[in-house]
Amino acid sequence: MTVSDLSATQTASGARPPDVSTPNASRQSRNGLDWFVFFIADIQTGFGPFVAVYLTAQKWTQTDIGLVLTVAGLVSLLGQIPAGAVVDAVKNLRAAAAIAVLAIGGSAFAMAIWPVFPLVMLSRVVHAGASCVLGLALASISLSLVGRREISGRLGRNASFASIGTGLAAAGMGLCGTYLSPRSVFFVSGALVLPALIALFRIKSDEIKVVREGGDPAVKRGRGAILTDLRDLARIRPLVIFSACIVMFHLANAAMLPLAASMLTLRSSSAATALVAAAIVVPQVIVAILSPIVGLKAQKWGRKPLLLIGFAALPLRGLIFSLTSDPRILVAVQALDGVSAAALGVLVPLTIADVTAKAGRFNLAQGAVGCAVGIGAAISTTIAGSLSDHFGSHLAFVTMATVAGFGFLAVWLFMPETLDRPAPASPEPIRSVSP
């Protein structure tokens, strides 16, 4: 998720846009955003592992299922940057979010009603593209409502509501899939569009103030300026360092749970599904609890200490995975994944907002980082799988822990603190009183 170009920074002409650091949202709008985040998480949960289960029940081959999932993954990966440019350019963030939600709901109903290959492929492509736009628009609305001074707390609250929504939706959809049919999961996902839109339109449109550097960059500079903007962002050294650190994190992280799930299956195949479900739920609970705390502490302690905590949990988790195959320990250690997810879920968009404050183009920067992260995550599963097949899971986990350790060291040694603390007020000069 990202944040929009709402910075109180120098514009291209040298003028400063209005200050957006002061919160301006009503209680109604804030509550509407809470529930919008919650219902979005509910909707998106249906497009997770349930897709493979549903298509398998429809007698699809694993080749066709893999092809559909791969194409959707590539669209999610490649769509990050253009989606960032689109959200940077739109003037009505609420309408953009509503269109994206409707597109996702339509995709769910299409898959449920007519699960033939062309329509399912189109539905997954539409869902992936709409999700790129929705995630960016959501964080842009968040920043618009609360301003820079409260954005860290808001992002923590968003992550908490999203985690609760994901957990509850996974449980509810699992019951529907078990006792009704796998198809019912997508009817539920589509039906949840209605409460999501109700929550979205409780956010008052006049409180979403889109302020852009130098006006609307897409209009003033032309819509073919994405490469130029990316080149400008590449000159921001903290952004480049942060991107490299995040890529190393996901290069190590993406394959850990799948590899641990394989170990659980080998150790206890009859209980593997329940154990894997527990391994997913445990981090969600931790994220729901810790995310608001991370958001508040990020404003007091700064970003870097919390980043270090999030990065430190990953190599520790990898090392423990390499030393044991006890299912109970593997599930318990997933709590460390919750610590990392809570820290990075808040701090990734927050840090990108910090380092791009003067240049603007927050959404484009987030899209570029998201694209790089996706590449790292895709490579992670391939490398870890190959290492595990040829040298065993122990070496695979040690390798991932080592990469995670390098990410931690990079944050520690090279990443600057990005919190812009107000300068202390200078004392009034002592005036001498002449006799």
CATH node for 1-10+19-215 = 1.20.1250.20
Per-residue CA distances from 77 to 84, 103, 224, 366, 407 (Å): 12, 18, 20, 12, 22
Look at residue 410 and tell me whether its pLDDT is greater than 80. yes
The alpha carbon of residue 76 and the mean position of all alpha carbons in its chain are separated, in whole angstroms, by 12
What CATH superfamily classification does 232-416 receive? MFS general substrate transporter like domains (1.20.1250.20)
Per-chain mean pLDDT for the chain: 78
Please choose, from the candidates 122, 158, 210, the residue with its C-alpha nearest in 3D space to the C-alpha of residue 30: 158
**Which residues 6+ apart lie within 8 Å of 345 measured at CB?**
155, 159, 287, 291
Matching residue, tokens 């497009």 = 47
Look at residue 200 and tell me whether its pLDDT is greater than 90. yes
Higher pLDDT, 168 or 411: 411
Look at residue 257 and tell me whether its pLDDT is greater than 70. yes
pLDDT computed for residue 102 by the predictor = 94
The region of weakest confidence among 83-97, 187-201, 272-286, 370-384 is 272-286
Arithmetic mean of pLDDT, 194-216: 73
Angle at 270 between CA 269 and CA 276, to 5 degrees: 70
Angstrom distance (rounded) from CA 41 to CA 169: 8
Please report the DSSP string for 242-282 in residue order.
HHHHHHHHHHHHTTHHHHHHHHHHHH-GGGHHHHHHHHHHH
Percentage above 70 pLDDT, the chain:
80
Q: What is the DSSP letter of 207?
A: G
Higher pLDDT, 105 or 1: 105
Start-end ranges of CATH 1.20.1250.20 in the chain? 1-10+19-215, 232-416
Length of the chain: 435
Whole-model pTM above 0.75?
Answer: no
Assign residue 14 a region: left if phi > 0, alpha if psi is -120 to 50, beta otherwise?
Answer: left
Per-residue CA distances from 304 to 37, 204, 338, 354, 415 (Å): 26, 34, 18, 12, 8
The region of weakest confidence among 318-322, 356-360, 372-376 is 356-360
pLDDT computed for residue 20 by the predictor = 42
Angstrom distance (rounded) from CA 29 to CA 19: 20
Arithmetic mean of pLDDT, 425-434: 52
pLDDT digits (tens, 9 = 90+) for 97-122: 999 999 999 998 998 888 888 888 89
Please choose, from the candidates 331, 358, 417, 84, the residue with its C-alpha nearest in 3D space to the C-alpha of residue 232: 358
Q: How far apart are the first and last CA of the chain?
A: 65
- 381: burial class by Cβ within 10 Å (0-12, 13-18, 19+)? middle
Look at residue 183 and tell me whether its pLDDT is greater than 70. yes
Per-residue CA distances from 32 to 38, 159, 197, 198, 207 (Å): 10, 15, 10, 8, 12
pLDDT computed for residue 316 by the predictor = 94
- 216: burial class by Cβ within 10 Å (0-12, 13-18, 19+)? middle
Look at residue 435 and tell me whether its pLDDT is greater than 50. no
Angstrom distance (rounded) from CA 353 to CA 359: 10
The tokens describing 24, both together, are: 């301006």
pLDDT computed for residue 391 by the predictor = 85
Please state the φ and ψ torsions of residue 104, each to the nearest 5 degrees. Answer: -65, -45
pLDDT computed for residue 152 by the predictor = 76
pLDDT computed for residue 314 by the predictor = 94
Q: Identify the H or E element spanning 179.
A: helix 151-179
pLDDT computed for residue 155 by the predictor = 81
pLDDT computed for residue 360 by the predictor = 66
Look at residue 344 and tell me whether its pLDDT is greater than 50. yes
Please report the DSSP string for 149-171 in residue order.
GGHHHHHHHHHHHHHHHHHHHHH
